[in-house]
Each structure stands twice: as C-alpha cells, then as structure tokens.
C-alpha cells in the first residue's frame, strides 16, 4: 500500500555502470579494517518492523433484476452474494514492546474488518485499532504478545539534509526489505497527500507495502514513518516521503489517550507574504505569514494578535509560509500554551495563547433524525469563515454513512434553511421526513437528499 502524487516530470538517466561478471569478489577487509556494514544495526531494528495484512468486506452494487426474488425463482438462480472480501498489505513499527503498540499509516488499515500482524519471527496476532487520524495518515494499533522488539523514537528536529537513512518495510509482501539513501529535504508540505504535511523527503526506495514502515538513522533509531512516493507510474524514482518521528510521537500520544486527535483552534486566518507584501510592510524577508483576520473572543484575539501582524515563529519554530502555519496549528492540542513571535510596526512581540476546543458541543445525530443515525454532530464556534454543523464521527454502514455523509463534512443548510447550531438543525430536521442537506466537503460543495 502506498500513496502517489500524480504529476508530470522528466526522468533523466545519467548513466549505467556495469561490473564484469568475472571481476573478483569484494574483500571482507581493507588494510586490516573491516568494511563498513549496516548488518549489526539491522539485526536490532528488523524485528521491530512488522507486516500488516487487512481484510475488509465491501458491498457489491445491487442489480435490481438479479435481486428480485421472483426473477431468481423464475430462472432458477441462487441467492447472490452481496459483498466481497478485499485484502491489502502494509507495514508497521513496534514503538512500545511492553504494551504492544504499533504505529502505521491510517490508509493501511482503512475500513479493515480484520487486521493481522506478522512479526519478524513469523508469529501472527490479530490487532485492535487504538485510534487513527486521516488528516496526518497516522494510526496506532495494538497486539497482545510477549518478547517484542521496539524501535526508539529519536528527535526528528535535529535531522539535516544529507543525513544517511534506511527505509525498512514489507514491499509486495516479500518479508522485511531494506533500502538506504539520504535525506533529500525537510519540512515538505503543499503536496496534497494529507491534510497536514511536514514530510521528510528521502531517496531511499519506498515501495508498495512499505507504507507504515520505518525510516531509521544509522543508529537504528526511528526518525520517520514511511508514507508516500512521488510517481507517475507507481514505480519508485527516488522521491519518497516520511512523517517525522516527533510529529508521529505527538499524534500517537493523543490516539492512545483519546482514540482520536483533538486539534486545537487559535481563531485566525493568514496568508503568505509575497514580495509585494514584504515591500508594503517594510520587511527584508518574505518568511512568515501575515494575519488577515482574527475572530473575536477566540484564543488569538485574547492573546493580543491583530490583523496585519506578521507571525514569525510558533513555539520557537520558524513559520515559513501559510502551509507551515496550517501544520503548526493543526498539531496543537486543546489547552496547550502557544508562544508566538509577532512583528508589528517593526517591533517584535512575544504573545501567548491558550488553544481552545474547535467543536463547542456534540450530539448523536440519531437524536435529531433517523436518517442521520450513526453520525456524531458538533457545533463550530461563531465567527469562523466556515459556519455550520460538522460531522465529527460516523460509523461505517450506518444510515448516515449509506446516505453519503462522511467524517469532516460540514452541514451548512437543511431543507434550504441555514444552520449554525445544533438547536437550529434539530428544529429544522425533526419535523421533516426527508432531508435536503447542503454539504461542504473540503473545497467542494454538494447537496445530499436523505429520504
């Protein structure tokens, strides 16, 4: 399993170096010194990388003729199977041997009804999902097993372009496989792979099945979770991406504690600083973001942030552009204290905000209307650019799911009536047999008719 970015590119072949079959074998030592090898490190690291196999049941679209019992009886046709099983493979990394916690990609276990983990020594265990976050493509699963080996998660903020790295995974279901390379780039974002992106880029080959596997340094410490490749054909061309270990560690802590990532809210809007804006603000650099809007009563407003401020740093981390600001805010926890370095009228200010919960109230949607059963609804704070009722959770194969609703959808109107609060939604929907919902999904809008 892996994700790809579909884009045009040119692959330039620089040359091919061939070795004669008759050439002598490589020596085991030179001038009495052993040749460098990764084998000792890999002997320690490989047992911590596991294979993850999933099974899922997918409904088959119904044919009205073949599903008609009279039609089947007339033509003596048996009952048709209305679902089929699908299987997929991926990788995972044991990060807590005592408790059996394994980090992988969310898309590896997406819609899985059964998850089987195969260890390096061949043992197999059924895994339980602890939590997953689609916006960052991180998931935590757990197995009950003894004699496990874990990888130590190290500080990914100290990584540098050019550092040697090793990717470990389970490509094509062949068993543990290892590729090596260097870090080609850091803090990659704006790729359209996930909702929140802060990737390590590497030229170590990441192949199908490597998703959720380990990116380690030469000490065998975990520095990233392999997640995607840049490719047109699906083959590897030396552009792979991994989620940094610091980001994965922070998300893992929330998934274990809450079963989900509780993202915080600052209540502001920003944009990139172009060359023209830099001149207008008298800046010598276009690094940072300019605040275009501050919502009254929310954390940024209470901290003293004002429209026109230039945000340079969040928690001592430089803000490069709006995408990096989006990532920084998206990874903040509710009630977390955030320090911001702000430039205002040529003066640098240090401001502190306390992150708040973005969803103000929640309610099971089944209490409002039978067609919405299986979904959990939440209110968004007043004053945000997008208002409405957000679907915070939804159960697969529930009435709400089968109607086409998905987690993260924002209901902006019901039966052509705008809704901003759960009470408004309840008043509008409870007396109607059918519901015409106007949905905002990402950058798209659509209507759904539930009847």
Whether 391 and 416 share a structural domain: yes
Whether 124 and 47 share a structural domain: yes
Whether 225 and 161 share a structural domain: yes
Q: Enumerate the β-bridge partners of residue 92.
A: 50
Half-sphere exposure of 364 (CA within 13 A, CB side): 8
Q: What is the CATH number of the domain that holds 126?
A: 2.40.10.10
Whether 349 and 366 share a structural domain: no
The residue range of the domain holding 400 is 362-450
Which are the contacts of 138, defined by CB distance < 8 A and separation ≥ 6? 103, 105, 106, 132, 225, 243, 247, 248, 251, 252, 255
Which are the contacts of 60, defined by CB distance < 8 A and separation ≥ 6? 80, 81, 82, 83, 84
Residue 195 has pLDDT above 60, yes or no: yes
Among the candidates 315, 338, 354, a domain finishes at 354
Q: Enumerate the β-bridge partners of residue 180.
A: 166
Whether 350 and 375 share a structural domain: no
Whether 341 and 374 share a structural domain: no
Tell me whether residue 415 is in a domain: yes
Tell me whether residue 374 is in a domain: yes
Question: What pLDDT, on a 0 to 100 scale, did the predictor assign at position 152?
Answer: 94
140-144, 146-150, 169-173, 204-208, range with the lowest pLDDT = 169-173
Please count the structural domains in the chain: 4
Whether 398 and 430 share a structural domain: yes
Question: What pLDDT, on a 0 to 100 scale, did the predictor assign at position 12?
Answer: 29
Tell me whether residue 82 is in a domain: yes
Question: What pLDDT, on a 0 to 100 scale, did the predictor assign at position 276?
Answer: 84
Q: Give CA separation, 92 vs 48, 168, 214, 247, in Å.
A: 8, 10, 7, 16
User: In the numeric block, which tokens belong to residue 157?
Assistant: 């903020």
Whether 54 and 133 share a structural domain: yes
Which region, left, alpha or beta, applies to residue 220 given φ > 0 means left and ψ of -120 to 50 means alpha?
left
Whether 254 and 180 share a structural domain: yes
Tell me whether residue 25 is in a domain: no
Residue 8 has pLDDT above 70, yes or no: no
Among the candidates 208, 231, 258, a domain finishes at 258
* Residues assigned a catalytic role: 107, 137, 211
Distance between CA atoms of residues 341 and 62, nearest Å: 58
Q: Which residue has the higher pLDDT, 143 or 170?
A: 143
Question: What pLDDT, on a 0 to 100 scale, did the predictor assign at position 192?
Answer: 61
Residue 237 has pLDDT above 80, yes or no: no
Confidence class of residue 409 from pLDDT cuts 50, 70 and 90? confident
Tell me whether residue 189 is in a domain: yes
User: In the numeric block, which tokens belong to residue 301?
Assistant: 């407003």
Percent of the chain with pLDDT over 70: 79
Residue 55 has pLDDT above 80, yes or no: yes
Tell me whether residue 148 is in a domain: no
Confidence class of residue 172 from pLDDT cuts 50, 70 and 90? low
Tell me whether residue 38 is in a domain: no
Q: What is the CATH number of the domain that holds 401?
A: 2.30.42.10
Question: What pLDDT, on a 0 to 100 scale, did the predictor assign at position 25?
Answer: 52
Confidence class of residue 5 from pLDDT cuts 50, 70 and 90? very low
Confidence class of residue 82 from pLDDT cuts 50, 70 and 90? low
417, 447, 415, 421: which is closest to 434 by C-alpha? 415
Among the candidates 223, 258, 293, a domain finishes at 258
Tell me whether residue 3 is in a domain: no
Q: What average pLDDT does the chain have? A: 81
Q: Give CA separation, 212 vs 170, 171, 236, 269, in Å.
A: 9, 11, 16, 33
């Amino acid at each position: 399993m892996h994700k790809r970015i579909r884009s045009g590119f040119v692959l330039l072949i620089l040359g091919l170096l061939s070795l004669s079959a008759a050439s002598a074998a490589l020596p085991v030592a030179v001038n009495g010194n052993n040749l460098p090898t990764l084998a000792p490190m890999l002997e320690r690291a490989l047992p911590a990388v596991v294979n993850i196999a999933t099974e899922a049941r997918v409904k088959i679209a119904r044919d009205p003729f073949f599903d008609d019992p009279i039609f089947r009886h007339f033509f003596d046709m048996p009952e048709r199977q209305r679902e089929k099983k699908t299987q997929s493979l991926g990788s995972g990394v044991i990060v807590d041997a005592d408790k059996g916690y394994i980090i992988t990609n969310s898309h590896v276990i997406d819609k899985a009804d059964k998850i089987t983990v195969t260890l390096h020594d061949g043992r197999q265990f059924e895994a339980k999902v602890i939590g997953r976050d689609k916006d960052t493509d991180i998931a935590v699963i757990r197995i009950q097993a003894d004699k496990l080996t874990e990888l130590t998660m190290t500080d990914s903020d100290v990584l540098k372009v050019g550092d040697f790295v090793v990717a470990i995974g389970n490509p094509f279901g062949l068993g543990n496989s290892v590729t090596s390379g260097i870090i080609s780039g850091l803090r990659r974002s704006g790729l359209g792979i996930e909702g929140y992106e802060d990737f390590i880029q590497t030229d170590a080959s990441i192949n199908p099945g490597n998703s959720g596997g380990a990116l380690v340094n030469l000490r065998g410490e975990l520095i990233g979770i392999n997640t995607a490749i840049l490719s047109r054909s699906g083959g590897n061309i030396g552009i792979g991406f991994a989620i940094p270990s610091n980001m994965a560690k922070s998300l893992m802590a929330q998934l274990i504690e809450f079963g989900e990532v509780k993202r915080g809210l600052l209540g502001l809007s920003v944009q990139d600083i172009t060359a023209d804006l830099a001149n207008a603000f008298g800046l010598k650099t276009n690094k940072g973001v300019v605040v275009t809007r501050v919502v009254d009563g929310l954390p940024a407003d209470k901290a003293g942030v004002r429209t026109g401020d230039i945000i340079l740093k969040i928690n001592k981390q430089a803000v490069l552009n709006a995408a990096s600001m989006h990532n920084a805010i998206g990874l903040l926890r509710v009630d977390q204290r955030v320090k911001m370095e702000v430039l205002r009228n040529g003066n640098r200010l240090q401001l502190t905000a306390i992150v708040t919960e973005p969803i103000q109230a929640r309610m099971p949607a089944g209490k409002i209307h039978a067609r919405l059963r299986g979904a959990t609804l939440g209110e968004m704070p007043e004053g945000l650019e997008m208002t409405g009722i957000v679907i915070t959770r939804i159960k697969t194969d529930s009435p709400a799911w089968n109607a086409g609703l998905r987690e993260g959808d924002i209901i902006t109107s019901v039966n052509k009536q705008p809704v901003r609060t759960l009470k408004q939604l309840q008043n509008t929907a409870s007396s109607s047999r059918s519901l015409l919902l106007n949905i905002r999904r990402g950058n798209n809008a659509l209507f759904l008719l539930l009847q």
